[in-house]
A and B are shown apart, each in its own frame.
Chain A
Amino acid sequence: MRIAVCVKHAVDETELKIDSGGKPLLSGATSRMSTFDKNAVEEGLRLKAAHQGEVVIFTVGPSDSKKTMKEALAMGADKGVLVTADTTSIDTMRTASLLAAAIKKAGPFDVVLCSEGSSDTYSGQVPPMLGEMLGAAFTGYARKLEVNGQTARVERSLEDSLEVVEAPLPVVASVVSEINEPRYPTLIQIMQAGKKPLEELNGDQLQPAGAYRQASVVSMSAQQSARKHVMIEGSPDEAAAKLVEALIREGVLSK
């Protein structure tokens, strides 16, 4: 079985600095593997363990992304394909079309895995776009995934229900974090990851089809929050009574 896993080198939001004018300092921000993409890699490895084959990591991003790809290789993926592009200026559709072009070039694949949404910009759009572009079945928010013969059986977690669906291979799926517990690579695996093949494709040469006007970011500013920060002290009974009093005074609690 050939398994493609799409992994994003995402800005680490915990490290992101805001300048004195309230603007995020994106250039020079540290990046790491998008949180839930670890679950996608883990699921790919789990499928490989059950069905043999190989796991190939696909990333669209700057060459710094190799750091993240090596982490996926250390977890156990077999090789990586990096499509170099300036991800700060492309929208979800361009990202998906670059991924689709690279996946087609290295294909065919039986299963293509993504996560439900990236930890930095969480659009949740790249996975279904990929499904559509590859002409494959797509199923999102998988919390369980099994392949039997030429059919994938997926448990999808929706807002108020669990849906079981079946789809013919090849299938594109996005996973939720509950699907598995991602492994940590060992030191030896981390050292060996450097020797695994990592191909680089130039995004400009993977000319994606179809011209359109991309979605773009107009401006960014730090989230403002003005809260009172009143700490209420005393025994549980005293503190609770003071809190209830304060909330009534605020007019947010009807008696």
Chain B
Amino acid sequence: MSGAVWSYSENESVSNEVASAAADVAKGASAEPVVLEIGAVRAGVRAPGAKLLLKGPATSDVPPEVAAEAIAKASKQLQPAAILIGATRYGREIASRLAVKLTVGCLSEVSKLSADGNALAGERNAFAGKVVAKVSCALPAIATVKVGYYAAVESAGTAVTESDVGQVNPLVKVVSREKKAAGAVDLRSAKVIVSAGRGVKKKEDLPMLEELAREMHGALGCSRPLSSDLGWLPEEHHIGLTGVTVKPDLYLALGISGQLQHTAGMKDSKVVAAVNTDKDAPIFQASDYGIVGDLYQIVPAIRKALASRR
């Protein structure tokens, strides 16, 4: 086993988070954190130490099947102590395939990672966020790292070394890829998040909340039904167990009932405020400030109150 902790994500900003996790683990394992690149080095990808470029795939836009095979080949040669992968929809596939290819255990959806003796240890939610579990796996081990927990690594990184992994021929062929509506958000770094739930009656009402978010210098997030079932916002806006984890200074939940699967993704916010017509909505249990009321009346009133202070 070499003294290296590898990190990888196909998503540049997630890669920078996972690199922070790798730096933490490396410290405990007296190892080096190494950021993986596949196909080509990406300008937005930073590293606490060195980068390792896996050459073979034609570009850096690699499907999970190819990424897993490339990392597995390199891993068999170089034997890292641990491999951390961002828990995105691609990333979960990459890590799972790697676990099978390398026959090693895989922690899932973890944060607070460390190297604990000869094991990789971390914390994760279970049972819709009712429970926090400490999990561990003997090294060498793999983990999928919960998105939104770690601050992005700052340093640009040092040397790039290369490893040739050759061509990979995937079974799954990508026919097309289409961006979902609305621009990119960075909920993970937002100080204020205004979050929309099913209490919002139609898509056309979202701009009102977007305006409010802008006036609060924040970003718009949502509950899963708005992105998944209704498709009003891209999936990256959705907060919770199956979406992103956020911990802003202020989380303002508008028309969100506050089911466990949702609050699992925002419970570490500094201050939580909620507006809901139902006084018994569970979101009030997870809030510092609550208003029982109609968001269609309260939102304009908040905007007015903000404007009068300028």
Interface of A toward B, CB cutoff 8 Å: 11, 13-14, 16, 18, 24, 91-93, 96, 116-117, 119-129, 131-133, 136-141, 153, 156-168, 176-178, 210-223, 225, 227-232, 236-237, 239-241, 243-244, 246-248, 250-255
Report the tally of A-B residue pairs with Cβ distances under 8 A: 268
Instruction: Rank and list the top 9 A-B pairs by shortest CB-CB distance, nearest first.
Output: A240-B301, A123-B108, A128-B96, A137-B171, A213-B138, A215-B105, A252-B249, A252-B250, A228-B288
* B-side interface size class: 35 or more
B75 within 8 A of A: no
23 contacts between A and B (CB under 8 A): A93-B99, A120-B127, A120-B128, A126-B96, A128-B64, A132-B96, A132-B97, A132-B100, A139-B172, A157-B89, A159-B236, A160-B236, A162-B178, A218-B135, A225-B285, A227-B288, A228-B287, A231-B291, A232-B291, A240-B304, A243-B273, A244-B305, A255-B310
Check A158–B297 contact: CB distance below 8 A.
no
Checking B65, B128, B137 against A138 with a beta-carbon cut-off of 8 angstroms, the contacting residue is B65
| Identity of the chain B residue whose Cβ is nearest the Cβ of A97 in the assembled complex | B100
How far is B119's CA from A217's CA once the two chains are assembled, in angstroms? 12
B104 within 8 A of A: yes
Check A213–B179 contact: CB distance below 8 A.
no
A212-B104, A214-B137, A230-B288 given; name 13 further pairs at CB < 8 Å. Answer: A91-B105, A122-B109, A125-B96, A125-B144, A137-B172, A159-B234, A163-B177, A166-B175, A221-B132, A236-B297, A247-B250, A252-B191, A252-B250
B1 within 8 A of A: no
How far is B118's CA from A189's CA once the two chains are assembled, in angstroms? 52
Question: Closest CB of chain A to B215's CB: distance in Å?
Answer: 10
Question: Closest CB of chain B to A56's CB: distance in Å?
Answer: 23
| Identity of the chain B residue whose Cβ is nearest the Cβ of A250 in the assembled complex | B271
Inter-chain contacts of A210 with B (CB < 8 A)? 103
B20 within 8 A of A: no
Check B107–A215 contact: CB distance below 8 A.
yes
B121 within 8 A of A: yes
Q: Known A125-B108, A246-B289; judge A168-B171 contact (CB<8 A).
A: yes
Main SS at interface, chain A: mixed
How far is B109's CA from A117's CA once the two chains are assembled, in angstroms? 11
Inter-chain contacts of A93 with B (CB < 8 A)? 99-100, 105-106
How far is B65's CA from A237's CA once the two chains are assembled, in angstroms? 54
Interface of B toward A, CB cutoff 8 Å: 11, 64-65, 87-90, 92-93, 95-97, 99-101, 103-109, 121, 125-138, 141, 144, 171-180, 184, 191-192, 216-217, 228-229, 231, 234-236, 241-242, 249-250, 260, 267, 270-273, 284-294, 297-298, 300-302, 304-306, 309-310
Question: Closest CB of chain B to A33's CB: distance in Å?
Answer: 15
How far is B192's CA from A236's CA once the two chains are assembled, in angstroms? 21
Check A222–B131 contact: CB distance below 8 A.
yes
Check B136–A216 contact: CB distance below 8 A.
yes
Check B177–A161 contact: CB distance below 8 A.
yes
How far is B171's CA from A162's CA once the two chains are assembled, in angstroms? 19
Check A159–B89 contact: CB distance below 8 A.
yes
Q: Known A93-B100, A125-B99, A212-B105; judge A16-B289 contact (CB<8 A).
A: no
Question: Closest CB of chain A to B69's CB: distance in Å?
Answer: 10
How far is B279's CA from A232's CA once the two chains are assembled, in angstroms? 11
Question: Closest CB of chain A to B56's CB: distance in Å?
Answer: 19
| Identity of the chain B residue whose Cβ is nearest the Cβ of A162 in the assembled complex | B178
Inter-chain contacts of A219 with B (CB < 8 A)? 133-134
Check B302–A225 contact: CB distance below 8 A.
no
Checking A91, A162, A239, A255 against B309 with a beta-carbon cut-off of 8 angstroms, the contacting residue is A255
Inter-chain contacts of A165 with B (CB < 8 A)? 172-175
Question: Closest CB of chain B to A174's CB: distance in Å?
Answer: 9
Most buried by A among B88, B105, B260: B105
How far is B212's CA from A173's CA once the two chains are assembled, in angstroms? 40
| Identity of the chain A residue whose Cβ is nearest the Cβ of B230 in the assembled complex | A178
How far is B250's CA from A246's CA once the two chains are assembled, in angstroms? 12
Most buried by B among A11, A159, A162, A223: A159
Check A159–B88 contact: CB distance below 8 A.
yes
Inter-chain contacts of A137 with B (CB < 8 A)? 171-172
Inter-chain contacts of B217 with A (CB < 8 A)? 254
How far is B90's CA from A157's CA once the two chains are assembled, in angstroms? 10
Check A227–B106 contact: CB distance below 8 A.
no
Check A122–B173 contact: CB distance below 8 A.
no
Check A239–B171 contact: CB distance below 8 A.
no
